[in-house]
Each structure stands twice: as structure tokens, then as C-alpha cells.
């Protein structure tokens, strides 16, 4: 929002003084200062109280009975962009332009008030006098448009709102509007894959066509669209009327090319929360388990919220797993409000933060103690299940995640590198966990670096194994969703970290990537740092494809029994 619009919206009066010569001087060819006849408003255009005014009106004018002083002030209500007015040569007509780029919504009333700061006077100094108004002031208003029924609406969608059983091959989503729409602006949020936008000739139909038709939509997933959800470049019709906030959704048919199982919690095996296991109907041979930690995106003490988010995630990622020919595991770890953490931000289990490593709290009947170890127990259980199905399986895992789950991926891999074959953390909380205890003389405590990690997990890290784990660490160059976590660290250490990594609000996270790359290189880690131009905090189809190719390049090729003779529950990759 530009500054003019901010000032208008909050009702701050704008003053415009246009001075000609010395104070009290006259405009050329006007009456002398000895005239005592008070001026008044002869007319306005639009007239006071007018309706049906063009929603794209660019200026209003006021005609006075006498030549007026160029020193004046005025204010306006919303939908009118205040700017510098101008006077006619005879000083009797004031023109006030509209500097707002947006049309006025149909049915909106615009009010112009003269004399809000500097009173209106004629060149002789006589105050403006209009019946019903304080001397030196005047006010008039008008209404834009007349037909409130013309406000645009979404009259239908394809697929229809609430539809189920929609084909995974759906190429386009179509929206039909009641009015011709302006193609200037698309203000929409959706979990629908990347799409191109096109309008019909009459601008009443909008088509959203998927860019990548080689991959089907995720089976069983509900795709939701929210139009005009908040401030921004609003969707509007060609007359400037804004579309009311509108939502619709549809669900893809559950024609799975994979078998989905919800494995219940099993404390005896070491995990106190369920996990989802997706097994494509066709797996590579040998194959490897892919893990993506769950990331609800918010706190909740209602475990069903986290379970539903994990279920939706495993459905969305199953096509990715099918493309790799690997099974997929997604845990259902909670992210509780209670108990609270000692500092704002909560116990950020989904990012494997400092407090989640320290907590042994019980929430909703399950413990969150060392969920990293609980995930290892889930992995071992899933591998045993896959072996029982007859699959040849690598003993290690692929692990990936984005945002909070990207942070979990980065931190888990450094804590347990011995079980990770390759890791792909995306935008990992604003910073990938540094495999050093200090940098440039600055101590880096967890979850920035690994200083003091032994006190958190009870053992030192296996940096030799970590060096062997290939990393694909990526971020968009417009990503500003920063979650650099210095909580629990001494103030002096926090300040030093902020001096190194820039803790100002909403930094460009990619600016930290060269520093992270240098740190990883310093320990001979196998890490590729990638920055995607023009991308904010999201995973694009290009990112997905690159991550898939990264994992494909590290898939196991040969396996051998863990010990001679019979094939055991887990198979080991031959060194290559």
C-alpha cells in the first residue's frame, strides 16, 4: 500500500498550500482586498448528493462566487487518493484530482471536506460562508455507481464446489463470474500445483491450467481456493467493483497408486505417536525409505489437527515417492501449546528445536521426549514391515522437508548421520544447522550450530559419518520467512550470531547461504547450496523436480545381506 493510500485510510488530513507571491496578495485580475463580500460555493461537480457517478472518476471541481486565495486545505474519505489540487486562472474554480489507481467500488460514498486545516478565504481574506457549515469550510459527497446487484460473484466452478472423486488427470480449474472481470489482478491462495492463468474474450471465465501435466494430482487430497483473502491487488470487475472474499474446494478421487497405512503408536517399540506409511504399488528394487517429518504450520493441543495435516502431507507427497519408486513415512508428532516453552515460540517439535530435545512432557497421552529417537524407532518399524512384504531395502533413509520440517531434516541429519543416505532440507528455518561449534570466533549453540550438543543429546556427534551424507540445501531468493532460532542461548551469544547472520525482521534468507556454504565446506561436508531466483517461501515444481533428481542420483543399486545366508529384516547397501 502506497503512502498516499495509508494516509487516506487512516483519515489523516492532507494539507496543500499553494501560495502566489506574498501572504495576502491577489491572483491576477481579481478584486481588491477591500471587498468584504463573503465567498460561497456556487456548485460542485459531481453535485452534492449525486449518485451514479463514474467509478473511474479522476477529479472533482468546486466553483466559488469569488476569486479565492491559493492557500487552502482539504481532506477526503476512503477510495479517493489525495493529491495536489489546481486553480483556474480566475481563481474561482478548484480542481481536486483522484490519485488512487483503483476504481471506486460501486455503492461507495466519497466525501470531500474543504477547510480542514487552513480555512478557505477569498483573496481579500473573507472566510468562505456556506449555510450549514462552519465559516471557512464546506463539505460535499457523492455515490459511485448505483446498481449494487452488479457486484461480481463467482457463479460456478469446474470442478464444482465440494465435488469429490475428481480425476487425478484434471488439467484445469474454471471459474465463471457474473460480470466481466479486470485481468489486472489475481489475489488467490491455493494448494493447487503451479498453474497458468487465462481469461475468456468476454472476461467472465477464468481458467487455471496446471503447468506440469506429467504428474497427476494427489489422490484423496482436497484442493482449496481462496479468492481475495486479504489486502492486496484485489480481484475486481471492469467497473472496479471488488469481488467479495470467496472460497471453493474439491477432492481428488482416491484412486491410489500406492497403499496407505496408518501405523498406531507402539511405546514398546519406542514410538508414542502413529505414523503414516505410503508404499507405491511399484517400487524400485532395491529401494530405500523416504522420510518427511510432519509440519502442521501452527500450534494446537488438538492432536487431530496434526494428524489431519500429516495425512494430507503423505497424500500430497505420495506421487513424489511414486516417481522415485520408494516408500514414504510421515510421522504425526504433535506441536503442543501446553506445556509452554520458557521463551515465546513454544516447544517447536516440528522443527526439532532445543526445547523439544530437552522436554519429556506428556501431551494427549503421549510423550514428546526425544522425538528424534522416536522417529528412528518408526523408521526401524517401517523397514521391518517393508521387509515382511518382500521388498529389498537399503538400511539407510532419504529425508526431506521444507520450512519447519526442513529444519527438522537438517538437524536430524546432523544428529543421526549414520542412518541417512541423502538429505534435502528446503528453507530450513532460515538457516541449516551448522556442523561447527563456532565460526569466526563466535560460539554457535544449538539450533544454530553444535556447541553444547552433548549436553542436549548425551553424546557427541559423528562428523565422520556426516561428511559422507550428500545434502541438497535450497531456498528461494525472495524467501523472507525467517525462523532463525537462538532461544535458550546467552544474550551475548545471540548478539554475536545476529551480527553474523542478520537478525533484522524478514531478511532475505538466501543472503545467509554463502556463509552456510563456507561453513559446510570447512568440515568437508558433501553439501550443495541452491538459490532459486524469483521464488518466495514455497516449493515450486522446479524445486520438486530437482530434489527428485538429487535423490534418484543417490538411490541404492546393489544390496547384500547384513550377515551371511538368510536375508534379515534390513538389507545393506554395497559400497559404491
DSSP structure class, residue 127: B
How far apart (Å, rounded) are the C-alpha atoms in residues 423 and 407? 11
Q: What is the pLDDT of residues 290-337, one digit of tens each?
A: 999 999 999 999 999 999 999 999 999 998 999 999 999 999 999 999
- Domain boundaries defined on the chain: 3-147, 151-252, 258-573
Q: What is the pLDDT of residues 456-491, one digit of tens each?
A: 999 999 999 999 999 999 999 999 999 999 999 999
Amino acid 233: pLDDT: 62
Task: Specify the higher pLDDT residue, 476 or 105.
Answer: 476
How far apart (Å, rounded) are the C-alpha atoms in residues 367 and 467? 32
How far apart (Å, rounded) are the C-alpha atoms in residues 547 and 544? 5
Task: Specify the higher pLDDT residue, 386 or 241.
Answer: 386
Cβ count within 10 A of residue 244: 12
How far apart (Å, rounded) are the C-alpha atoms in residues 147 and 149? 5
How far apart (Å, rounded) are the C-alpha atoms in residues 261 and 321? 15
Amino acid 28: pLDDT: 38
Would you say the CATH fold of 151-252 matches that of 3-147? yes
Q: Does residue 562 surpass a pLDDT of 80?
A: no
For β-strands 109-114 and 138-144, DSSP reports them as antiparallel
Report angle CA 107, 108, 114 to the nearest 5 degrees: 140
Q: Does residue 576 surpass a pLDDT of 50?
A: no
The CATH architecture that domain 258-573 belongs to is 3-Layer(aba) Sandwich (3.40)
Amino acid 571: pLDDT: 33
Q: How confident is the model at residue 574 (pLDDT cuts 50, 70, 90)?
A: very low
Q: How confident is the model at residue 570 (pLDDT cuts 50, 70, 90)?
A: very low
Helix (H) / strand (E) element for 356: namely helix 354-358
CA atoms 270, 404, 542, 310: torsion sign: positive
Q: Of 64-68, 69-73, 410-414, 523-527, which range is least confident?
A: 69-73
Cβ count within 10 A of residue 458: 9
State the virtual CA torsion across 457, 463, 467, 470 in degrees, nearest 10: 0
Q: Does domain 3-147 have CATH number 2.60.40.1220?
A: yes
For residue 447, which of 438, 434, 462, 461 has the smallest C-alpha distance?
434
How far apart (Å, rounded) are the C-alpha atoms in residues 442 and 449? 10
Q: Does residue 564 surpass a pLDDT of 70?
A: no
Amino acid 212: pLDDT: 86
Q: What is the mean pLDDT of residues 134-150?
A: 80
Q: Which percentage of the chain shows pLDDT scores above 90?
A: 68
Q: How confident is the model at residue 369 (pLDDT cuts 50, 70, 90)?
A: very high
Amino acid 147: pLDDT: 55
Q: DSSP E strands: which ranges in 109-171?
A: 109-114, 138-144, 154-158, 163-166
Task: Specify the higher pLDDT residue, 1 or 498.
Answer: 498
Q: What is the pLDDT of residues 41-63, one digit of tens each?
A: 999 999 998 988 888 889 999 99
Q: Which fold has domain 151-252?
A: Immunoglobulin-like (2.60.40)
Q: What is the mean pLDDT of residues 165-169?
A: 88
Strand, helix or coil for residue 20: coil
Helix (H) / strand (E) element for 396: namely strand 393-402
Q: Of 21-35, 131-145, 302-316, 520-534, which range is least confident?
A: 21-35
CB 221 within 8 A of CB 316: yes
Q: How confident is the model at residue 361 (pLDDT cuts 50, 70, 90)?
A: very high
Q: How confident is the model at residue 454 (pLDDT cuts 50, 70, 90)?
A: very high
Q: How confident is the model at residue 34 (pLDDT cuts 50, 70, 90)?
A: low
Helix (H) / strand (E) element for 280: namely strand 275-280
Q: Of 2-6, 307-311, 509-513, which range is least confident?
A: 2-6
Amino acid 109: pLDDT: 82
Phi then psi for residue 312, to 5 deg, are -65, -40
Task: Specify the higher pLDDT residue, 519 or 6.
Answer: 519
Amino acid 2: pLDDT: 35
Q: Does residue 253 surpass a pLDDT of 70?
A: yes
Amino acid 419: pLDDT: 98
Q: What is the mean pLDDT of residues 91-119?
A: 86
Q: Does residue 31 surpass a pLDDT of 60?
A: no
Residue 119 to residues 5, 139, 437, Cα–Cα distance (Å): 24, 13, 68
Average of per-residue pLDDT values in the chain: 87
Q: DSSP E strands: which ranges in 415-490?
A: 420-426, 438-439, 442-443, 471-476
Amino acid at each position: 500500500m502506497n503512502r498516499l493510500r495509508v494516509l487516506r485510510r487512516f483519515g489523516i488530513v492532507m494539507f496543500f498550500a499553494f501560495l502566489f507571491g506574498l501572504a495576502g496578495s491577489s491572483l491576477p485580475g481579481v478584486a481588491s482586498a477591500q471587498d468584504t463580500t463573503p465567498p460561497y460555493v456556487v456548485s460542485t461537480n459531481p453535485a452534492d448528493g449525486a449518485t451514479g457517478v463514474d467509478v473511474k472518476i479522476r477529479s472533482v471541481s468546486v466553483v466559488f462566487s469569488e476569486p479565492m486565495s491559493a492557500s487552502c486545505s482539504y481532506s477526503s474519505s476512503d477510495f479517493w487518493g489525495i493529491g495536489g489540487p489546481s486553480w483556474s486562472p480566475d481563481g474561482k474554480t478548484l480542481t481536486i484530482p483522484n490519485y488512487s489507481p483503483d476504481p471506486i467500488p460501486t455503492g461507495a460514498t466519497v466525501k470531500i471536506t474543504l477547510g480542514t486545516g487552513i480555512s478557505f478565504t477569498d483573496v481579500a481574506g473573507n472566510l468562505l460562508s456556506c449555510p450549514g457549515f462552519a465559516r471557512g469550510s464546506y463539505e460535499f459527497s457523492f455515490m459511485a455507481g448505483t446498481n449494487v446487484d452488479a457486484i461480481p460473484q463467482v457463479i460456478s466452478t469446474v470442478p464444482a464446489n465440494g465435488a469429490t472423486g475428481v480425476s487425478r488427470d484434471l488439467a484445469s480449474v474454471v471459474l465463471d463470474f457474473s460480470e466481466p472481470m479486470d485481468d489486472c489482478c489475481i489475489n488467490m491462495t491455493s494448494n493447487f500445483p503451479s498453474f497458468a492463468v487465462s481469461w475468456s474474450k468476454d472476461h467472465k471465465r477464468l481458467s487455471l491450467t496446471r503447468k506440469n501435466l506429467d504428474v497427476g494430482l494427489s489422490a484423496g487430497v482436497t484442493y482449496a481456493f481462496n479468492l481475495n483473502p486479504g489486502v492486496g491487488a484485489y480481484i475486481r470487475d471492469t467497473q472496479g467493483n471488488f469481488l467479495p472474499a470467496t472460497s471453493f474446494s474439491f477432492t481428488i478421487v482416491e484412486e491410489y497408486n500406492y497403499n496407505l497405512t496408518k501405523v498406531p503408536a507402539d511405546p514398546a517399540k519406542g514410538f508414542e505417536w502413529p505414523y503414516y506409511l505410503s508404499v507405491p504399488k511399484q517400487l524400485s528394487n532395491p529401494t530405500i525409505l523416504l522420510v518427511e517429518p510432519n509440519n502442521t504450520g501452527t500450534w494446537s493441543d488438538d492432536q487431530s489437527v496434526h494428524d489431519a495435516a500429516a495425512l494430507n502431507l503423505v497424500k500430497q507427497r505420495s506421487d513424489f515417492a511414486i516417481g522415485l519408486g520408494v516408500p514414504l513415512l510421515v510421522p504425526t508428532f504433535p506441536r503442543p501449546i501446553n506445556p509452554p516453552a520458557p521463551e515465546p515460540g513454544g516447544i517447536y517439535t516440528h522443527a526439532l528445536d532445543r526445547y523439544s530435545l530437552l522436554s519429556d512432557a506428556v501431551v494427549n497421552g503421549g510423550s514428546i521426549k526425544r522425538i528424534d529417537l522416536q522417529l528412528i524407532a518408526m523408521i526401524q518399524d517401517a523397514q521391518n514391515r517393508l521387509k515382511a512384504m518382500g521388498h529389498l531395502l537399503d538400511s539407510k533413509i532419504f529425508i526431506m522437508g521444507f520450512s519447519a520440517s526442513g529444519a527438522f531434516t537438517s538437524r536430524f541429519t546432523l544428529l543421526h548421520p549414520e542412518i541417512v543416505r541423502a538429505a534435502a532440507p528446503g528453507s530450513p528455518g532460515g538457516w541449516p544447522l551448522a556442523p561447527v561449534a563456532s565460526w569466526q570466533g563466535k560460539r554457535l549453540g544449538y539450533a544454530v550450530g553444535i556447541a553444547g550438543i552433548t549436553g542436549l543429546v548425551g553424546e557427541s556427534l559423528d562428523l565422520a559419518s556426516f561428511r559422507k551424507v550428500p545434502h541438497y540445501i535450497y531456498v528461494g531468493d525472495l524467501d523472507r520467512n525467517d525462523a532463525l532460532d537462538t532461544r535458550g542461548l546467552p544474550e551475548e551469544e545471540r548478539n554475536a550470531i545476529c551480527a553474523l547472520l542478520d537478525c533484522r525482521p524478514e531478511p532475505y534468507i538466501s543472503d545467509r547461504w554463502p556463509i552456510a556454504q563456507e561453513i559446510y565446506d570447512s568440515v568437508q561436508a558433501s553439501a550443495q547450496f541452491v538459490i532459486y531466483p524469483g521464488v518466495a517461501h514455497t516449493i515450486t515444481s522446479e524445486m520438486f523436480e530437482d530434489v527428485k533428481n538429487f535423490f534418484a542420483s543417490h538411490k541404492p543399486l546393489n544390496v547384500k545381506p547384513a550377515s551371511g545366508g538368510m536375508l534379515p529384516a534390513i538389507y545393506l547397501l554395497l559400497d559404491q
